Amino acid sequence: MKSRVALHSATRQFRPILTAISQTTVRPALATPHALKTYNLSPIDVYTPNTYTPLVLFFPSSSASHRVLVNKTNHIERLKHSLAQSLTTYYPFAGRMSSSGSRICCNDHGVQFLEAQVNCSMSEIIENRVKYNNKDDSFGFLFPPGTVWDELNNNSSPLMVIQLNHFDCGGIAMAVSMTHKITDGYGICTFLEHWAAVSSQSGKQVQPYFLSWQSNDLPENIPPPPKTKNVTRRFEFKNSSLTSMRAKIAKQGQLENPTRVELLTALLYRASIAAASDCDSTFTPSILIHLANVRSQLMIPMTAVGNHYWRYMVEVKNESEASLSLLMTQIRRGKMELRATEASKMNNAENLIAPAYEYTKKGYKLYICSSLCNFPFHKVDFGWGKPSKVCIAEGACANHLIFTDTADGIEAMVCLEEDQMLSFENNEEILAAAYITDTNTATGV
């Protein structure tokens, strides 16, 4: 199969081309026993949107990845074979969504596995992506069509799609899209750890933990946010900059030992509110939903499959409540309330997101924030070495903030409406704290 797909670009200087190499379906190495043919989703799973979550892992060129490039056929076959073995253990991932949307039919229909060649080096995409695609700071072009936050079309669609992208330099970008309905970010991470351990024969497979659920009906429909023209941008915050800011805040007595994520959540939420006010020429109250992994709080193994997250909310009713110190105080309070939430309440899906929609009915702007920091993505090693960068390809919707670890800090992916992004990018507090890659230069501020 040969086809060529061009990355849409706002400039004519450079157009990365993906040449499709192969497409196949990988099924479990062993058939799923009849007793396990049905996997009921949890109440939170059922409540979670049925969209593909686009995660990409960048493995730089090295002696190991060069061997993959030279002996590609053998290495790719081993990768597929180890995937088939892993799907035997993570058997629901190879199934299909039932027509009811409340359970998985574990029919071993498999996952989609594709390969593509990219006609440039990895560094050209990572370091200069804004130059080549200055409308959207996104890695979505590395994924097959219809797998970047898109809903599964029907109950014949695979629950997981993988595309292995080979760069001219020998680097590899693994694009993984899995329906959010079957597991969350941490669940994807533990699956990748397991698959990588099987592939590299390290003997360090992490075993999944499946909870038993009764069949759940679909929840009352909650209307999705209105579609707008969005822009994704990425901002890197060095640990040195974050440490300096945290020390300053602690010295002023605003908050004791603020974390990196607390600081960035407040900083970016504040800048987003200011950008919206600039564009609307008026202040609008807002509500931030911060999602968090709560497996430890639920006293279940960290390898538990499914959506095991909960939220705390940060309300800003007027401009006086949008100061950095007040926002950080609210965030700390929200985290404490989250820790005090009873496990029984976290199994009630109606309590998860519905309260936030009550705010939107009152005219509040809705922001969503999640952090993948401290998730062990950077330990994933298929035999090519560990990834140098792991990120979500782009934002799911407007007013979406996602944090991921870098080698020496945190990358914040910000998705805002197009007219608000210009104001956000020029926010003085953001410029003072972030290491920003723009069209022409990379400047540490």
Residue 4 and residue 21 in contact, taking contact as beta carbons nearer than 8 Å? no
230: helix, strand or coil: strand
Choose the weakest-confidence range: 170-179, 194-203, 225-234, 254-263. Answer: 225-234
User: What is residue 377's predicted lDDT score, i.e. its pLDDT?
Assistant: 95
DSSP of 80-122 = HHHHHHHHHHTGGGGSEE-TTSSEEE-----EEEEEEEESS-H
User: What is residue 228's predicted lDDT score, i.e. its pLDDT?
Assistant: 67
3-state secondary structure 299-344: CCCCCECCCCEEEEEEEECCHHHHCHHHHHHHHHHHHHHHHCCCHH
Of all helices (H) and strands (E), which one includes residue 1? none
CATH number (3.60.110.10, 3.30.559.10, 3.30.230.70, 2.30.30.30) of 230-444 reads 3.30.559.10
Neighbours of 281 (CB within 10 A): 6
Neighbours of 277 (CB within 10 A): 18
Residue 183 and residue 307 in contact, taking contact as beta carbons nearer than 8 Å? yes
User: What is residue 219's predicted lDDT score, i.e. its pLDDT?
Assistant: 59
Residue 8 CA to chain centroid, in angstroms? 22
DSSP of 32-84 = PPGGGSEEEPPHHHHHS--BEEEEEEEE---HHHHHHHHTHHHHHHHHHHHHH
- Give the mean pLDDT of 337-366: 86
- Give the mean pLDDT of 367-388: 93
**Percent over 90 (pLDDT), the chain:** 59
**Is the pLDDT reported for residue 11 higher than 90?**
no
**Is the pLDDT reported for residue 220 higher than 90?**
no
More confident residue, 29 or 72: 29
Q: What is the pTM of this model?
A: 0.89
Q: Do domains 4-9+16-200 and 230-444 have the same CATH topology?
A: yes
418: helix, strand or coil: helix
Calpha distance 406→41 (Å, rounded):
33
Residue 268 neighbours by CB under 8 Å, 6+ apart: 369, 401, 412, 414, 430
Q: What are phi and psi of 220, to 5 degrees?
A: -60, 135
User: What is residue 246's predicted lDDT score, i.e. its pLDDT?
Assistant: 86
User: What is residue 204's predicted lDDT score, i.e. its pLDDT?
Assistant: 81
Calpha distance 270→401 (Å, rounded):
12
**Is the pLDDT reported for residue 135 higher than 70?**
no
User: What is residue 236's predicted lDDT score, i.e. its pLDDT?
Assistant: 92
Closest Cα partner for 233 from 427, 13, 372? 427
- Give the mean pLDDT of 360-385: 93
Residue 274 CA to chain centroid, in angstroms? 25
Residue 213 and residue 98 in contact, taking contact as beta carbons nearer than 8 Å? no
Per-residue pLDDT reduced to its tens digit, 313-327: 999 999 999 999 899
- Give the mean pLDDT of 59-88: 79
Residue 77 neighbours by CB under 8 Å, 6+ apart: none
User: What is residue 134's predicted lDDT score, i.e. its pLDDT?
Assistant: 43
- Give the mean pLDDT of 414-434: 91
**Is the pLDDT reported for residue 344 higher than 70?**
yes
Q: What mean pLDDT value characterizes the chain?
A: 86
Residue 127 and residue 442 in contact, taking contact as beta carbons nearer than 8 Å? yes
**Is the pLDDT reported for residue 308 higher than 60?**
yes
- Angle of helix 418-425 relative to helix 260-280, nearest 10 degrees, comes to 120
Q: Where are the domains of the chain?
A: 4-9+16-200, 230-444
**Is the pLDDT reported for residue 54 higher than 50?**
yes
More confident residue, 135 or 226: 226
CATH number (3.40.50.2300, 3.10.20.30, 3.90.1150.10, 3.30.559.10) of 4-9+16-200 reads 3.30.559.10
More confident residue, 409 or 127: 409
More confident residue, 29 or 70: 29
